[in-house]
Chain A
Amino acid sequence: MFELPSGAEIQAIIATLNASVGFFIPEIFLSALFMLLIVIDLAVKDRKNDLLAMTTLLGLAGSMYFIYQQHAMPAGEFFFGMYVLDEFALFFKYFFVVSGMLAVIVTMADDQFDREVKSIGEYYAIVVAMVIGMIMMASSADLLMIFLSMELVGLSAYVLTGYFKRNASSSEAALKYLVYGAVSSGLMIYGFSLIYGLTAQTNLLKISAELAVHGYDPLVMILATLLILAGFGYKIGAVPFHFWSPDVYEGAPTPITALLSVASKAAGFALLVRYYFISVPHGLKPYEDFAGIDWHSLLILIAAASMIYGNVVALWQKNVKRLLAYSSIAHAGYILLGIIVMDKLGTQATLVYLLAYFLMNFGAFYVVILIANKTGSENLDDYRGLGKTMPLAGAALTVFLISLVGLPPTAGFIGKLMIFASLLNKGSLYMVLAFIGIMTSVISLYYYMLIPLNMFLRDSTQTEQRNMSISMTARIVMVALMVLTIYFGIYFAPMMEFANYSSAMFGMKFQ
């Protein structure tokens, strides 16, 4: 049934590809960086860890130049509608590149790598691969492309999670992550196939047009929605697709935990927003007849469940990384609130929240690593008395945690403010969700404050003197993150303007 394309068709295909490559330069550059890192790893004999790290940092920084140039390009789709370039995608490109850079900086600070692995080897290359994958997730406009980019991110993440080969909990985490990932990818691809069956299209815009014209069977649609949500929900770590996250976050190397909890989650949100805002319309007629359930009401349930479950279960955690894992489930719920309102203000709120979450979560994990370097532990009890021996780290961690609670004057407060503002702007309709969000953030105060409580209010049980001084570089990074968290809490206009600019999405129907 397949015919060979004629010469003219091949010519046309090549022409399109040629035209499209111009929009793909940051990704190409990063791929080159990926290969360069592997070559360096193979070619250089000793003391290559720092060289690899610096190359990665410079390479990622360099890719920002190419991303910056894309601002001048018109929004549109290319590679036969596989891939889009718009302000929304650009936002996430910056987001992931900077996340990657921070992950490298955090890795350099983490002493556990020296203990666990002889050579850092291909680690940085895989981090770059994961960044490429996430960038592609945020720019995909086609079901196939979505699946491929998600798999790229997933496979990189499995390897990175299990990077400490001799460490049982790291390997366990990787295996769990892999099994969950495989199942949810399978479910998602099944959902995609149903959508393809309904519309005979894989491009999101064409799916949308097809659904609008021809309608669809509500039962198939809700089934497909559920299955696809399983894939996206797994990426963003929302209830009930969160089961992997506490174990993986606890077992993975901490820089990877930070990367998973911030960047990979953000990539999931980018996909979720693009997929549902563009392809599957909310509230079209035959669709709503199915007991009134559509992706929108499912998201409402997921958001509420995530906020409640994440915050309540975190109350009992004794391990700080695990505690932050549950907190990140809860934050997935808050971010979903901005998506649920489905307007420009809500998208903006989502982006602002992601920026704030980026600062405070990376900051928190960074301090957790610095502390673990000195104490060798991530248990809450071992944080006792650290406020006296590491006052700067204690103060910084307190700022990040306060920001995670959402108290002013921190960036986290602005995120919450925007989320609740977008909910209330929709009128009293979403009041219940706002109420749940508000109540659960009060609950979250308790467990976040357990960390400063142990650091400052309790005395250490340790009697021997330990060297608790932190290197200058680590201090600078920590203070920079802390100052930014507070600065954007007091003067958040730049953050808002960036989010406002970035909330434009190619092919979006509502404004």
Chain B
Amino acid sequence: MLSIIVFLPILAGLVILAVPSSQKQVIRIVSLLAALAQIVIALLIWRGYDPSMAGIIAAPGGSPAGSFQFIERLPWINIDLGNFGKLNIEYFLGVDGISISMVILTALISAIGVLSSWTIQKQVKGYFILYNLLATAMMGCFVALDFFLFYVFWEIMLLPMYFLIGMWGGPNREYAAIKFFLYTLFGSVFMLLVMIGLYFSVIDPVTHNHTFSLVAMASQENYIKGAILGPDNTLWRYVAFIVLFIGFAIKVPMFPFHTWLPDAHVEAPTPISVILAGVLLKLGTYGMMRINFPLFPEVFHASLYVIGIFGAINIIYGAFCALAQQDLKKMVAYSSISHMGYVLLGLAAGNSEGMLGALYQMFNHGTITAMLFLLVGVIYDRAHTRQLDKFGGLASYMPVYAGIVTVAWFASLGLPGLSGFISEAFVFVGAFSSVTTRNIAIVSVLGIVFGAAYLLWSLQRMFLGTRKPDAAYDLEVGSDGHEHIHFHDWKGKLDLDARELVMLVPLAVIIIALGIYPMPVIGLLTTSINKLVTVLTPVVMTSMN
């Protein structure tokens, strides 16, 4: 099941390779079919998922079978290296409460990305091959339970992303693409060293060999004393935690490693921005929850405060930057940084509420930000500009668009009744109830105020009032006596067309539905989150005297 959902896009990519490049429509439809099939499989996984199984670590006895679901485990590389023991790499997939929501999110966003890519006209064949490669790698990251496999998927993501930004991006795309590539590679090469160090430090309880299995690594009793990352080697465990954290934080992106994100977003074509904000950023925080924290729980506990501070900086700094932007897409990009700060804050709380809020916020941020970027793309397609002061009064001319924008904008600022509110509320409840992060939470609440400020202000500038004198469109009085606008050289429908509605309406429905009744997602997560919190809480040593 998981193998199919992971490799479907790449199969579609191989089919596309055989299609002549003039058959653009066939190429698009093949990609769409693969993406839709991914959604169907994701729904089947969701149906078959048993929320009472915890995941995170192996079931008692060392086998992951009673703990993870949809497990696929095959030996991949199995070589006897003489006195160095066996080199053991597995093809090991599985889901638990941390990854299940991300699998669904990835399938959803991938499909929406394909729809959004319909407007790509240049080198369609190459575009969709790379897009499908990216989709496979993303999905693979979320279901891989072998560190080596995870790392391979993680790195495979970079190259398609580089080309997708670099070949189909805006005017400054070369800079943005290589900046993205260098930043993320910088983070991940250290992950490689930590991965090797962990391999030499962990023994699989069942086979008694060294292992890359993340399930075995998550149990501290599997670490060898005296090994480079063994339990007694505090210094290197701290170093490993920090470099891993930086590797994942670059992806989040966390201040001060965030500067690649606005560049990448501004240059990337709309569907790639959607993928980037909707799925890729989550890989950073997912990696923290799956790898960084459970493998080094004692270091995690010692650094709660620092992580919380960085979360707060992300929230407030991101909001301030968003407030200052003239470019709508850049504003959304910084709002994305700000909202990923809530995830960090929730993680720093270290308790069930905070962690749950963080994970739920990852899902909600995925849907909301995807929607925001799609909406930015809609207006950019028409006006060829994203400058906030080139609009005004759009609400009266594009009412449907304005309506959906309002839903997305309000979801982003955390209005009760929309999904963003619930996850942010959980994050704050968690952060307040933890003594470490209480003060940080109090400061971070300001982020919501600034968030409301930039979102409402942009809404007002673009949609309310009247047309600005130098707006990107002309006003004319139609034959029926009403005022109309028309964009220069835009031939399509003025308001949202059918394809755009198909992309946006499902997201809007999900956002509203999960805002009213979040249990379908939260219900999947709670058991695993509780388990994660137990794993992360250090065993309190009772004093003997």
Contact = CB atoms under 8 A, between A and B. Distances in A.
Interface stretch (A123-131, A188-196, A233-241, A423-431): A423-431
A420 B192 contact: yes
Nearest to B75: A493
Nearest to B78: A493
B79 A421 contact: no
A438 B193 contact: yes
Contact of B193 (A344, A434, A446, A452): A434
B88 to A, nearest CB: 11
Contact of B185 (A445, A457, A497): A445
Contact of A456 (B77, B83, B163, B178): B163
B197 A453 contact: no
Classify chain A: how many residues form its interface, as a range.
Answer: 35 or more
Given A409-B156, A493-B78, A420 B196 contact: yes
B182 interface: yes
A449 interface: yes
A175 interface: no
Q: Could you tell me the dominant secondary structure of chain B's interface residues?
A: helix
Interface stretch (B166-174, B294-302, B453-461, B509-517): B166-174
A407 interface: yes
A348 interface: yes
Given A345-B81, A417-B192, A424-B193, A453 B159 contact: no
Interface string A386-424: 001001000000100010000111000100110011001
B70 interface: no
A421 B199 contact: yes
B236 interface: yes
A189 to B, nearest CB: 37
B162 A449 contact: yes
Interface string A427-463: 1100000110011011001100100110011100000
Interface in A282-334: none
Nearest to B226: A427
B261 to A, nearest CB: 19
Contacts of A446: 178, 182
Interface string B48-79: 00000000000000000000000000001111
Which interface residue of A391, A424, A445 has the most chain B CB atoms within 10 A? Answer: A424
A492 B84 CA distance: 17
Nearest to B239: A431
B225 to A, nearest CB: 14
B151 interface: yes
Interface string B153-193: 00110110011001100000110011001100110011011
Contacts of B158: 407
A395 to B, nearest CB: 9
B152 interface: yes
A347 B402 CA distance: 65
A492 B81 CA distance: 13
Given A424-B200, A425-B200, A496-B87, A441 B189 contact: yes
A102 B178 CA distance: 33
Nearest to A504: B82
Which interface residue of A407, A413, A452 has the most chain B CB atoms within 10 A? Answer: A407
A453 B180 CA distance: 14
A407 B153 CA distance: 11
A449 B192 contact: no
Nearest to B199: A421
B166 A424 contact: no
B541 to A, nearest CB: 27
A407 B159 contact: yes
Contact of B84 (A344, A408, A434, A452): A344
A491 interface: yes
A492 B152 CA distance: 13
Given A344-B84, A446-B182, A456-B167, A424 B228 contact: yes
A102 B159 CA distance: 28
Contacts of B79: 493, 496-497, 500
A492 B166 contact: no
Contacts of B151: 408
Nearest to A454: B174
Interface string B200-216: 10000000000000000
Contacts of A434: 193
A471 interface: no
B228 A420 contact: no
B159 to A, nearest CB: 6
Interface of B: 76-84, 87, 123, 126, 151-152, 155-156, 158-159, 162-163, 166-167, 173-174, 177-178, 181-182, 185-186, 189-190, 192-193, 196-197, 199-200, 228, 236
Given A438-B193, A441-B189, 19 more contacts: A344-B82, A348-B81, A388-B123, A407-B158, A407-B159, A407-B185, A408-B156, A424-B196, A424-B200, A435-B193, A439-B189, A442-B186, A445-B182, A449-B162, A453-B174, A496-B87, A500-B81, A500-B82, A511-B83
* CB-CB nearest 5 A-B residue pairs: A408-B152, A438-B189, A457-B166, A408-B155, A424-B196
